[in-house]
């Protein structure tokens, strides 16, 4: 009962705060209002992001300490993981005029065996923290591989180095303790919950790895994450990271003029001629997702999970839809039943489901029909837009 209660509460809180965050992006992108409006939008965004981090971190810490955070290893591409993290956090670095880069220090395995979701969570935390506590200069992510041991199992090392304020010796000793930040005097000016590094350390240990830190006040800090790779074939190594595709800074996604266009890429017109069935119960999320889809040239038919699909398809052929997008609020009902209902009505296209947290590779499909793709809801509207458009385009064969 307690687990279900916390899960549902966390889902609702994340959905509400994410929506607030997204609406501030849309308001800012509209260009309406003056300097005061811009300041208010910035304040709303920063505080909603802080609240969302607090909710997520508190829930994760509870699950870890209660032994209810599963670790499931599968093949993953560490280079792509690092590149995705750079893409996600590049907007924050750009706003602070910082350089964010990722490099390979020698050949690294193309794939390793670990829990990709938790590895990404640890790295996101470390890089976000580095940007937060850096005023000038930048953040460098260096990924390297250690030689395999006798049993064939190697280690992957990922260093996150910044040119920030550094950490004093006394604070360094307690840096992984709950509710401790690098320097208490700057806690409120930088934000944060003081739980992120605690969670990163515990997740790293659950992955069978280590997390170390070295720092010099006024010079910067380096966190070094080491995780076992599993057995890796000698030939399966690469010496560069996947290319990060960035857009220009000239505008946004059609009528969705997001300043973080480089997250969405060249999406304008990508869904031209694509008809999408959007099933979402919350009016505000309906609006946001509709704007995202239309910004890429798509057309949208709205429906709620409680609305009989037979009524919808009674006047509209199921075959005219190229993709169906299920919003997070429909997860309160049975998504599997919803997807089976779609299939019963003759819909044969792709089904994309929005989720708070990506399922593991061995997760059961959503009902008998199954969901073709999952999209994790990001609080960064540019990232969410890119992910949704990319998934719909892939689902209808126009990627």
Averaged over 13-23, what is the pLDDT? 72
Residues 230-262: pLDDT tens digits?
876 665 788 888 876 443 332 333 333 334 443
Residues 281-297, buried b or exposed e (16+ Cβ, 10 A)? bbeebbbbbbbbbbbbb
Judge residue 179's burial from the number of C-beta atoms within 10 Å of its C-beta, 0-12 exposed, 13-18 middle, 19 or more buried. exposed
303 belongs to a structural domain: yes
Could you give the CA distance from residue 239 to residue 274 in angstroms, rounded to a whole number? 39
Output the pLDDT for position 235.
56
163 belongs to a structural domain: yes
CB of 59 closer than 8 Å to CB of 121: no
Does the structure show a pLDDT above 90 at 28?
Answer: no
Does the structure show a pLDDT above 90 at 395?
Answer: no
Does the structure show a pLDDT above 80 at 190?
Answer: no
Q: Is the same domain home to 39 and 130? A: no
Grade residue 315 by pLDDT with cuts at 50, 70 and 90: low
Among 133-147, 262-276, 282-296, the range of highest mean pLDDT? 133-147
Averaged over 320-332, what is the pLDDT? 75
Backbone angles phi, psi at 7, to 5 degrees: -65, -45
Grade residue 8 by pLDDT with cuts at 50, 70 and 90: low
Does the structure show a pLDDT above 90 at 394?
Answer: no
Q: Look up the CATH number of the domain holding residue 147.
A: 3.30.565.10
Output the pLDDT for position 57.
76
Q: Is the same domain home to 230 and 93? A: yes
Which of 83-92, 109-118, 331-340 has the lowest average pLDDT?
331-340
Output the pLDDT for position 282.
78
Bigger pLDDT: 245 vs 131: 131
Q: Is the same domain home to 233 and 111? A: yes
Output the pLDDT for position 206.
93
CB of 389 closer than 8 Å to CB of 264: yes
Does the structure show a pLDDT above 90 at 161?
Answer: yes
| Residue ranges making up the domain that contains 217 | 70-238
Grade residue 368 by pLDDT with cuts at 50, 70 and 90: very low
The structure tokens listed for 49 are 């992001």
Averaged over 285-307, what is the pLDDT? 83
Q: Is the same domain home to 313 and 368? A: yes
355 belongs to a structural domain: yes
Output the pLDDT for position 313.
64
Q: Is the same domain home to 60 and 82? A: no
Output the pLDDT for position 398.
67
Q: At which of 68, 83, 103 does a domain end?
A: 68
Q: Is the same domain home to 184 and 275? A: no
Q: At which of 238, 272, 297 does a domain end?
A: 238
Does the structure show a pLDDT above 70 at 78?
Answer: yes
| CB atoms near residue 3 (< 10 Å) | 11
Question: Count of domains in the chain?
Answer: 3
Averaged over 12-29, what is the pLDDT? 72
Output the pLDDT for position 181.
57
% of the chain beyond a pLDDT of 70: 70
300 belongs to a structural domain: yes
Output the pLDDT for position 387.
84
Output the pLDDT for position 246.
44
Does the structure show a pLDDT above 80 at 124?
Answer: yes
Question: In the Cβ-directed half-sphere of 53, how many Cα atoms lie within 13 Å?
Answer: 20
The structure tokens listed for 91 are 């907007």
Does the structure show a pLDDT above 50 at 367?
Answer: no
% of the chain beyond a pLDDT of 90: 19
251 belongs to a structural domain: no
Nearest alpha-carbon partner for 382 in 269, 265, 272, 299: 265
Q: At which of 68, 101, 118 does a domain end?
A: 68
Q: Is the same domain home to 44 and 164? A: no
Q: Is the same domain home to 224 and 285? A: no
Q: Is the same domain home to 75 and 151? A: yes
Which of 25-29, 56-60, 358-362, 394-398 has the lowest average pLDDT?
358-362
Q: Look up the CATH number of the domain holding residue 376.
A: 3.40.50.2300
Residues 166-188: pLDDT tens digits?
988 888 888 888 766 555 444 43
244 belongs to a structural domain: no
255 belongs to a structural domain: no
Q: Is the same domain home to 352 and 376? A: yes
Output the pLDDT for position 88.
78
250 belongs to a structural domain: no
Q: Is the same domain home to 132 and 176? A: yes
Distances, alpha carbon 337 to alpha carbons 53, 69, 332, 334, 344, in Å = 32, 27, 12, 5, 10
* Mean pLDDT, all residues of the chain: 76
Q: Is the same domain home to 233 and 108? A: yes
């Amino acid at each position: 009962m307690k687990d279900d209660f916390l899960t549902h509460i966390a889902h609702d809180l994340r959905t509400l705060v994410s929506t607030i965050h997204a609406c501030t992006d849309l308001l800012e992108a509209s260009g309406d209002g003056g300097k005061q409006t811009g300041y208010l939008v910035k304040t709303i965004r920063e505080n909603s992001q802080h609240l969302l981090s607090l909710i997520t971190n508190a829930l994760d810490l509870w699950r870890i300490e209660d032994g209810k955070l599963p670790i499931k290893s599968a093949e993953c591409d560490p280079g792509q993981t690092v590149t995705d993290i750079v893409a996600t956090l590049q907007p924050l670095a750009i706003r602070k005029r910082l350089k964010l880069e990722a490099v390979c220090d020698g050949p690294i395995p193309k794939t390793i065996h670990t829990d990709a979701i938790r590895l990404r969570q640890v790295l996101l935390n470390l890089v976000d923290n580095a940007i937060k506590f850096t005023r000038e200069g930048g953040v460098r992510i260096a990924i390297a591989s250690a030689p395999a041991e006798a049993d064939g199992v190697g280690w992957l090392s990922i260093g996150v180095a910044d040119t920030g304020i550094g950490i004093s010796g006394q604070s360094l000793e307690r840096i992984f303790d709950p509710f401790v930040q690098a320097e208490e005097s700057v806690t409120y000016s930088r934000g944060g919950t003081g739980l992120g590094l605690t969670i990163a350390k515990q997740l790293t240990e659950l992955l069978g790895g280590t997390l170390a830190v070295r720092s010099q006040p006024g010079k910067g800090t380096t966190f070094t994450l080491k995780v076992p790779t599993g057995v890796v074939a000698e030939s399966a190594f690469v010496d560069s990271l996947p290319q990060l595709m960035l857009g220009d800074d000239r505008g946004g996604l059609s009528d969705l003029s997001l300043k973080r266009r480089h997250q969405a890429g060249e999406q304008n017109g990508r869904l031209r001629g694509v008809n999408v069935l959007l099933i979402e119960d919350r009016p505000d999320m309906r609006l946001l997702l509709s704007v995202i889809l239309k910004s890429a040239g798509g057309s949208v038919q709205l429906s709620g999970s409680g609305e009989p699909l037979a009524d919808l398809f009674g006047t509209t052929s199921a075959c005219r839809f190229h993709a169906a997008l299920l919003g997070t609020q429909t997860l309160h009902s049975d998504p599997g039943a919803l997807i089976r209902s779609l299939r019963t009505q003759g819909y044969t296209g792709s089904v994309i489901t929005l989720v708070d947290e990506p399922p593991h590779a061995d997760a059961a499909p959503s009902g008998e029909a199954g969901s073709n793709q999952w999209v994790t809801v990001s609080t960064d509207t540019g990232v969410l837009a890119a992910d949704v458009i990319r998934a719909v385009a892939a689902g209808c064969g126009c990627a």
